[in-house]
Structure 1
Amino acid sequence: MVTEPFRPLRDDVRAAIRERIVRGDYAPGTRLVERAIAGDLGVSRVPVREALHSLVREGFAVDRATRGIEVRQYDAAQIAELTEVAGALEVVLVRQIASAERPTDLEPIRAVLGEASEALDDGDHDAAVAANARFHEALVEVGHGGIVGEILDGLTERRRWLLRQHTDPAIVHREHVDLYDALAAADSERAVAIIEAHARDSVVRAVSAMEHVAEVGS
């Protein structure tokens, strides 16, 4: 009989709240009220309190002295920094994948591209955005971890949130397809050039989307 490892309730609660932040259920600036969340999740306030403080440390929430804990709002400069950091790390990862001595199994990337394409054909914006986010996770998977993968794993949820701010997943998908083609051809130079351009374009799109949200909210 296999015994499942013990998982503290606060970890499940933290994961649930984080997922709602990433999905946009809790928008930036939303107060995270212990009592309301506890009632919604059917738990006591103690694991919710612990989970919220963990999310502050992870960067998904901030603790305001006068308002309590609320979902973090990123400004344009912070969005650009997050995107640039992730993009720089992916340049290293892509170079490793394309320069591998033995051919790399790219099936995880192909699968995600297929999901994104199907979602776009169906007009399912949310599913296409989610698939585009998983593309970056698939890159880490085919890269077989390593230090770069470990660091990128730590950015996964924030990047999922960030990619939801893009307004046109079709553009992102096309760039992902171009990168896959370069990787499949083991063209390291082209793959690196594509991921560098993708990172630059992502910064512009992310900042533009955030500024648009700010204008609508003002």
Structure 2
Amino acid sequence: MTGSQGFTPESERVTRQLRDEILDGVRKPGSRLVERELAESLGVSRLPVRDALKTLVAEGLVTPRPRSWAVVREFTPSDLADLDEVRGALETLAFRLAAQRHTREGLQRLRADLDRELDAARAGDAVAARRAAADFHQTVIWLAANELLSELERVMRSRVRWLLGQHDDLLGIAEEHEALYQAIADRDVTRVESLVLHHLTTSRAAVQGHRKPDGA
């Protein structure tokens, strides 16, 4: 009897692929997502595509349209301000708790995320660097060891990962993460709180710079 542990439902596979393409910037805001076209390009029936679009709507990455299509969400300045406020509150708490509660295993996992980000940033691999940066923030939530905080993070995960991908200073962000990592490792809560406030400010500016049209 063969096990089914390696089996991934088509709807999950389609969801993961579309999510990655949106988060990595392959599918731009406003891009059409038509069930029939996606089904043909991905080699699946329309049902898993329909299920994937429903999931991505719930995650806040896709905006539904009448009948059988949708568009990649275009975040308005108001959307970004709301997301930034909530992200700031959650991450300030998460970084503080991570500094107080981290384990050796957790710190090793955070270091691995950071090393991947630094390596990718130095190599100019924007997709890999941004993914690792988002992993770093997600690991900090895990280190905080607060189940309710983790639950809130899961609800917001896709939108926050999208926001964390909206920057161009790959090495600058990675170096700020390195400083945060060291403060967490030292259990220096005061320094963590100062660094995370600075990081949120520079991250906000980086997002605004990334979204600004060339020549603006």
Give the TM-score band, short-chain normalised.
0.7 to 0.9
In 2, are the aligned partners of 1:132 and 1:173 still within 8 Å (CA)? yes
Secondary structure of the 1:25 match is coil
Kindly, what percent of the aligned residue pairs are identical?
35
**For residue 189 of structure 2, what is the aligned residue in structure 1?**
188
Distance (Å, rounded) in 2 between the aligned partners of 1:168 and 1:142: 26
Aligned to 1:35: 36
**Structure 1: which 5+ residue stretches go unaligned?**
none
Contact map agreement 1:97 1:142 (CA 8 A) in 2: yes
TM-score between both structures, scaled by the size of structure 2: 0.86
**Cα deviation, residue 172, structure 1:** 0.9
Q: 1:167, 1:66 → 2: CA distance?
A: 37
Matches within 5 A, 1:169-188: 169-188=170-189
Closer/same/farther in 2, CA of residues 216 and 79 from structure 1, 3 Å limit: same
Q: Read off the aligned partner of 1:148 and give its amino acid letter.
A: L
The question of whether the paired residues in 1 share the 8 Å contact of 2:60 and 2:158 is answered with no
User: Aligned to 1:29, what secondary structure does the other structure show?
Assistant: coil
Which residue in the other structure is 1:73 paired with?
Answer: 74
List structure 1 segments (4+ residues) > 6 angstroms apart after TM superposition: 101-104
Alignment of 1:1-218 (within 5 A): 3-4=4-5, 8-65=9-66, 68-100=69-101, 105-210=106-211, 212=212, 215-216=213-214
Give the residue type in structure 2 aligned to 1:32. Answer: L
**8 A Cα contact 2:14 2:48, kept in partner:** yes
Using the alignment, how far apart are the partners of 2:51 and 2:207 within structure 1?
31
1:16 partner amino acid: Q
Alignment CA distance shift 1:175-1:49 (3 Å): same
- Normalised TM-score (structure 1): 0.86
| Cα deviation digits, residues 102-124 of structure 1 (max 9, x gap) | 77741111111111222233232
Distance 2:115 2:170 in 1: 14
Q: With a CA cutoff of 8 Å and minimum separation of 6, indicate the structure with the bigger relative contact order.
A: 1
Of 7-16 and 26-35, more deviation after overlay is shown by 7-16
Distance 1:98 1:41, change over 3 A: same
Amino acid across the alignment from 1:76? P
Aligned length: 215
TM-superposed CA distance for 1:13, in Å, is: 2.0
Greater Cα shift, 128-137 or 153-162 = 153-162
RMSD across aligned positions (CA): 2.7
In the aligned structure 1, how far is the partner of 2:34 from the partner of 2:102? 52
1:52–1:178 CA distance, 2 compared to 1 (3 A) = same
In structure 2, the gaps of 5 or more residues are none
